[in-house]
Amino acid sequence: MDDWCGVILAGGKGTRLMPLTWNMPKPMIKIANKPMVHYAIDLLRYAGIKKIIIVVRHLGEQIIDYIEKIDWGIEWGLEIRIPNVDSLDTADALRKVSDLIDCENIIISMADIITNINMKEFMDFSMKKNAFGSISLLSSDQPKQFGVIVLNGNHRIRGFLEKPRPDELYLSSLVSKNSLHQHTNLINTGIYYFKREILDILNEINLMDFGKNVFPYLLASDYPIYGYISKYYWMDAGTPLFYKYTNWDLLRKWSWPLVPLGEEKDPYKWFENIDTIEFGENIAIDPHVAVGEGCKIKNGAVIETLTSIGRNVEVGEGTHIRQSVIWDNVKIGNECLIKNSIICDNVEIGNKVTILENTIVPTNCKIRDNVKLENQSLSPEQEI
């Protein structure tokens, strides 16, 4: 039995990301040209974890197809299994793959967040504390109250209130004076450590969700649960706006060592298989840009900062693109302006089209010449 293994939960529907997730599971949504589930795998392999289980459900065949096309064993020595389970929630998903888990220490992560948490440090922290379980936490500078977490001086969690009432806040403040420390600005970033024995508990007791059921039960039963607090990048790309922001952050290297797909040919410029990309004359490509394989960037086109362009995209003559996310197999006509928007797969855009400010053009849309869109979200397969 190995010491460590990782379980990536990848069954979410991504409802808040609609229409981006109209025909695609959230973990397969690309950020800087790489699916979110790939970043989750990278995070585990950087920490030396070789055995990984990816639990899929909604449109799981797309994730399975993507994973099976990559030889993870030859490239990185990984053993990846992908069960498709009908789970009701996060802890239920772990319960239903418990027979596949063959390790003493388990890392649970989510396929729909982007973070560069130092996973090895998180693992070492859990070992040094002899924790039964650990929760990754992040200090937030925002005034919003995310909940109250009470820790002792050794970072052991003694209390947790997600949405405390005033009387609960008062009681927790009294408790915190007795050698405990109350925190009201910590985010649970969705990465957990457990000893293997958690599987026995899940198979005996019908606990469904980690935050709502598992951790409250473990704390009430006096299991040693610890909070790992550090500074690291973390983003839930759960809405189109924050999805776009996460793309920008990857292009800025704010989440290093997680970086866009491709080779960094110039500082902050990534190209996937650059020999397959056609570059016209008098083009300009700014830093903080990623371009996928098979693209055609025609004469006079300008790709400005904070833009990711997927595979097999045609950018017409004189077209300007800035701060936008362009998915795969998109055809953009001549003299277009695209700014601060998201263009999904298989979209056709005519000539002299203007797309501005938080516009979303979903999969299979067609836009005729001279159309102007601003702060709009079209429907999938719409023609306008």
From CA 367, how far away is CA 359, in angstroms rounded?
Answer: 13
From CA 208, how far away is CA 96, in angstroms rounded?
Answer: 11
From CA 372, how far away is CA 384, in angstroms rounded?
Answer: 10
Radius of gyration of the chain (CA): 23
In the chain, CATH 3.90.550.10 covers: 2-141+185-236
Structure tokens belonging to residue 371? 């159309």
Rounded to the nearest 10 degrees, what angle do helices 36-46 and 119-128 cross at? 50
In the chain, CATH 2.160.10.10 covers: 266-374
Q: Is 3.90.550.10 the CATH number for 2-141+185-236?
A: yes
**pLDDT in the model for residue 75:** 80
Nearest-5° Cα angle at 69, 123 to 97:
45
**pLDDT in the model for residue 1:** 54
**pLDDT in the model for residue 335:** 99
Helices (H), the chain: 36-46, 60-68, 72-76, 90-96, 119-128, 166-176, 198-204, 215-220, 240-251
The phi, psi pair for 67, rounded to 5°, reads -65, -40
Three-class secondary structure of residue 29 per DSSP: coil
**pLDDT in the model for residue 121:** 97
**pLDDT in the model for residue 375:** 96
Tell me, rounded to whole angstroms, the distance of Cα 205 from its chain centroid. Answer: 30
From CA 149, how far away is CA 135, in angstroms rounded?
Answer: 11
Q: Is 2.40.50.100 the CATH number for 266-374?
A: no
Long-range contacts of the stretch 249-257 (C-beta < 8 A, 24+): 249/114, 250/31, 250/32, 250/114, 250/308, 251/32, 251/288, 251/289, 251/290, 251/305, 251/306, 251/307, 251/308, 252/288, 252/306, 255/114, 255/115, 255/116, 256/116, 257/42, 257/46, 257/116
**pLDDT in the model for residue 184:** 56
Three-class secondary structure of residue 217 per DSSP: helix
Structure tokens belonging to residue 356? 């501005």
Give the number of other CB atoms < 10 A from CB of residue 351: 16
Residues of the chain with pLDDT under 50: 143-145, 164-177
Nearest-5° Cα angle at 172, 170 to 174:
75
Q: Residue 188: which of 227, 142, 158, 238 has the closest Cα?
A: 227
